[in-house]
Chain A
Amino acid sequence: MKALLTIEQLSIKLQDKNILSMLDLSLNEGDILGLVGASGCGKTTLLNTIAGFIKPSEGRVIIDDNFLSDGEYCLPAERRQVGMIFQDYALFPHLTVKENIAFGISKRSKAEQLEQIDRLLTLLKLNDYRDSYIHQLSGGQQQRVAIARALAPKPKLLLLDEPFSNIDARLRNELMLEIRQLLKQFKTTAIFVTHNKDEVFTFADKMAVMAQGRLLQLDAPSIICQQPNNYQVADFLQLGSWLPCQVNLTIAQSLIGKVHLKTSDPKQESLLYLLVKPSNLLLKAATDENNQANAQVEYISVTEQGYHYYLNSIDDPANDKSLAFSKLSIYSDIALSLKQKVALSIRPHDYLFFDKPT
């Protein structure tokens, strides 16, 4: 499939600080990309650069074979055919719903404008509010107007900056599905920024994880969840807990047992971290000779299915301190008490080991 957006070696330096470094990204026509990352990682800067509000220090932004930024050349924002939905919606308070939607298509004929406005008002269920002012609408309605306004000029690419952050949690999911359907209907390519991974799972076809101005991984959300490519991605997405292991060729030794690797770890690191999901762990409350206690309960919360525990390693002078673990997350229907000692073991699964970045 043809790439609609291509970003090559993009770097942004603001006040001698690297905000984005050598970033590459490609997006196919009709794709919806969810951009996640911690606050300050450069997500919004990337969006603003694509929109044309920030001039890149280096690199190129290409949409549909047209260069938007390349070296000193930077096409003004208003000529990029890139739409944007702002976090606060940026709706014009002095205009009605209808006038807001017509804002970006004022150069078209009146008949065309009306047709487009009517279509969007109907699609977004805003017909009853066409002559209302923005302050007369609810948060959800305002967001619909923002979407209608952004879609009216038929942008090649739509950027959404944390579009759901101001929406009530109960409405959010419903609205996300609705907007996704709409974007698909319009075959609109979109990038949306969020720091909520769950929003990406609901809304996006692809997911990109950013940290410190770099793109760490770009793939389908399901693939990233199954195969995160580094420690930061798995850690940011909270895909599991971390169990320190001493790896020696095909054997990884931890405080809750050893696991045999199918092949020797190519990184040849001595201390690596195994990503363990709650389902990868086996918990036994009763300890005996075969099931020696190797962890203790540090935190308990009640869930609908049973209990959620955080377990720490037992403070034993005989243990290798570098292998001590904390906050291993596990769900169980066994009732335990705080500081209770338990036996924990690892179920066989596809092991994922990572270096911990310093």
Chain B
Amino acid sequence: MIALYNTKTWTLLSYVIALVLIIPLLVMLAGGVSASAQLFLHLWQTVLPSYLENTLLLAFWVLLLALFFGVLSASIITQTNIVCKQQLRWLLLLPLSMPAYLVAYLYTDLFDYAGPVQRSLRVWFDWHSPSDYWFFDIRTLPGAALMLALVLFPYIYMLTRGAFEQQDQNLIRASRLLGLTAKQSFFKVALPLARPAIAVSASLVLMETLADFATVQYFAVNTLTTAVYDTWLGYGDLGAANALASILMLLILFVVLAEQRSRAGLRHQSARPSLKRELIQLSLGQQLLASLFCWSLVFLGFLLPIVLLIIMAVQYSDITQLSALVTTGGNSLKVSIFAATTAVLIALLLGLYQRLHADKYRKIPLQLSGIGYAVPGTVLAMAMLSTLGPLDHWLNGAVEFFGFTAPGLILSGSLFAIVFALVVRFSAIANGTIISGIKQIPQSLDYAPASLGVNLVGSLTKVHLPILTPTILMAWLLVFVEAMKELPAVLLLRPFNFETLSSQIYQLISDEMLEQGALGAILIVLFGLLPVVLLNKNKEKV
């Protein structure tokens, strides 16, 4: 590729932005690494082994369940003649819009001792106390794993389905001509070919699991994320919180590296995906089982929770709730709009820098700016506090030195910290979307304006940005929705008396009063549906 432009300001700006985005993480890691050995020893002798064990066990169970749900449903949808395939194809994506903590609360409410299910059972069978019968306890580690798997499996479903649909059908045909049945061909050719997609989606599920805070907190399962939260808010020990956050981040780094390693050299290009697939014909019994499986996932992962939320909203909503919703919704909107706009502007600046600049290392700023996506919100919040806190103190000192009144915690105690954290966390989404849009622009369109006497600014404003407009809107929307849903970072960084939709719902869940916030919860789910619809639309275009 020939790079076109060589402006130093653009280079400087790109590197500075990328550095600003990763500095908090570096400060936190430095804090974690420099934490005293005694502190580590103390943590190791007390809570760390059980936190680690819980974290790893949770990751294992979620991965196992999500793989089972995701790969099996993708296989059924793409490889068999299941009835209502067109509907199930997109319905199976819907659980992605449901925050795990909401599902956890709703199912606990439903299946707890005092919930309607057990109450009805006791009435029907004339049981009087818990000793009269056995009923599964949902507020356990496997219960949390099931809740997370129910809403995270669509990642695996979506990418595996895409991989199956993009496979070169001539490979499948060749295997059939070599004597394999449709089922054998699926297990020996199609499934191994889909391995890279399964690995990517599995790593996404693992990252989301390791980052989850609210579900495990609600189920009182102590993992590293809850430990970071408790250590900071409960004991005010920033050093220990940093150390735990660093361990968690290393664990995620390990997942990312393992995924990349497992995928090395396993990229399969498809030449003829559009050829008609030969489907496995299901018998009546198999049809029933496959339908039951897929519809159960849709029902448990989306339909039942949303219906429960709607019932709550209808039963308990009143005017005071609506006014609270307007305030918290307004706050959420404010934070999300700032974060999405900033992230998209940064992605454009760095993405176009990567595309058009002559700098030999022009990819680095974009790559650096996307690192935050792998960092859980809790860890990111610690990183912000570790960086912005001292910076605030330094600023106040400097202002007082010049004889002015100290402005207070203008960075760590304001919306700035939340927006900054959200930008760090979700820049990768904006980057990915913008870069895929930029890649759609033929290279020759970069050169054409110059050959017609038009300079860089003209080229950007008249060619690149107009062509990228739909991509920019898509990137903005995706970051906006993620920012609306983000909980742990907002919870730890929000200024006093500042609530967003997600933090308010979490508070209500903690106080076992979700009924009061059902409308807000529905709103979050509806926002969550937007990217699902967009993703499905995009996949269908392929």
Residues of A bordering B, CB below 8 Å: 48, 51-54, 76-79, 81-84, 86-94, 103-104, 106, 149-150, 152-153, 159
Contacts and interface: CB of A to CB of B under 8 A. Distances in A.
Contacts of B467: 92-94
Contacts of A89: 444
Contact of A78 (B450, B462, B463, B466): B450
Contact of A83 (B442, B452, B462): B452
Given A53-B2, A93-B467, A86 B448 contact: yes
Interface string B434-476: 0000000010110111111111000000110011000000000
B43 interface: no
B4 interface: yes
Interface in B269-313: none
Given A48-B2, A54-B2, A104 B452 contact: yes
15 contacts: A48-B2, A51-B451, A53-B2, A53-B450, A77-B447, A78-B454, A83-B451, A83-B452, A86-B448, A87-B444, A90-B444, A90-B447, A92-B467, A93-B467, A150-B451
Interface string B4-36: 100000000000000000000000000000000
Contacts of B451: 51, 77-78, 82-84, 150, 159
Contacts of B454: 78, 103-104, 106
Given A53-B2, A77-B4, A90-B442, A153 B453 contact: yes
Contacts of B463: 92
B448 A92 contact: yes
Contacts of A84: 447-448, 451
Interface residues of B, number: 18
A150 B448 CA distance: 9
Nearest to B456: A78
List the 8 shortest-distance A-B pairs measured between CB atoms, nearest first.
Answer: A104-B452, A90-B444, A77-B450, A84-B451, A90-B448, A86-B444, A78-B450, A53-B2
Contacts of A149: 452
B161 to A, nearest CB: 30
Given A76-B450, A103-B449, A159-B451, 10 more contacts: A53-B4, A53-B450, A54-B2, A78-B450, A78-B452, A83-B452, A87-B444, A89-B444, A94-B466, A104-B453
Interface centre among B450, B454, B467 (most CB of A within 10 A): B450
B444 A103 contact: no
Contacts of A51: 447, 450-451
B343 to A, nearest CB: 24
Nearest to B450: A77
Interface centre among B442, B451, B463 (most CB of A within 10 A): B451
Nearest to A44: B2
Contacts of A106: 454
Given A79-B453, A104-B452, A150-B452, A92 B445 contact: yes
Contacts of A88: 442, 444
A91 to B, nearest CB: 8
Nearest to A81: B453
A52 B2 contact: no
Interface centre among B444, B455, B463 (most CB of A within 10 A): B444
A54 B462 CA distance: 23
Contacts of A91: 448
B344 to A, nearest CB: 19
Contact of B455 (A78, A86, A152): A78
A153 B447 CA distance: 16
Nearest to B451: A84
A187 to B, nearest CB: 19
Contacts of A78: 449-455
A79 B451 CA distance: 9
Contacts of B453: 78-79, 81, 104, 153
A82 B454 CA distance: 12
Interface centre among A53, A78, A89, A153 (most CB of B within 10 A): A78
B446 to A, nearest CB: 9
A48 B462 CA distance: 22
Nearest to A14: B2
A88 B447 CA distance: 12
B452 A153 contact: yes
Interface in B394-451: 442, 444-445, 447-451
A82 B452 CA distance: 8
Contacts of B445: 90, 92
A245 B12 CA distance: 65
A89 B467 CA distance: 16
B466 A52 contact: no
A93 B448 CA distance: 12
A23 to B, nearest CB: 18
A78 B5 CA distance: 11
Nearest to B2: A53
Contacts of A52: 450
A280 to B, nearest CB: 44
B541 to A, nearest CB: 16
Nearest to B467: A94
Contacts of B450: 51-53, 76-78
A152 B448 CA distance: 13
A86 B447 contact: yes
Interface string B184-221: 00000000000000000000000000000000000000
A89 B451 CA distance: 12
A92 B461 CA distance: 13
B210 to A, nearest CB: 40
A245 to B, nearest CB: 46
A301 B467 CA distance: 51
Contacts of B449: 78, 103
A104 B320 CA distance: 60
Nearest to B468: A94
Interface centre among B442, B444, B447, B452 (most CB of A within 10 A): B452
A186 to B, nearest CB: 16
Contacts of B4: 53, 77
Contacts of A153: 452-453
Contacts of A159: 451
B529 to A, nearest CB: 30
A210 B379 CA distance: 59
A240 B451 CA distance: 39
A35 to B, nearest CB: 17
Interface centre among A52, A53, A159 (most CB of B within 10 A): A53
B440 to A, nearest CB: 10
A209 to B, nearest CB: 24
A47 to B, nearest CB: 11
B13 to A, nearest CB: 20
A106 B457 CA distance: 14
Contacts of B442: 88, 90
B469 to A, nearest CB: 8
A76 B452 contact: no
Interface centre among B2, B448, B463 (most CB of A within 10 A): B448
B398 to A, nearest CB: 43
Given A48-B2, A103-B462, A53 B447 contact: yes
